[in-house]
Amino acid sequence: MPLVTIDVIKDAFTPEQKQQMIEKVTAVMVEVEGENLRPVTSVRIAEIEGGDWAIGGQRLGGADVRAMATGTDG
């Protein structure tokens, strides 16, 4: 019974994007483990508060992630 946890910065992704993550990660897990385990394959998204996540010593928030995704300055 696999459990996949995806850590993201809060407000970085829309509900629709999070749903896509859940569906696609589930599909990959089922491809590896077999269709019979689909009913017990869990995917959860854990949202980390903006500013509680840093890369290279720089704190990030949801707007920063969205800016990276779109190639803008945020």
Residues 6+ apart with CB under 8 A from 38: 26, 30
Q: Which one from 2, 6, 21, 33 is the annotated catalytic residue?
A: 2
- Do 45 and 6 contact (CB within 8 A), yes or no? yes
15 is catalytic: no
Q: How many whole angstroms separate alpha carbon 38 and alpha carbon 59?
A: 37
Residues with catalytic function: 2
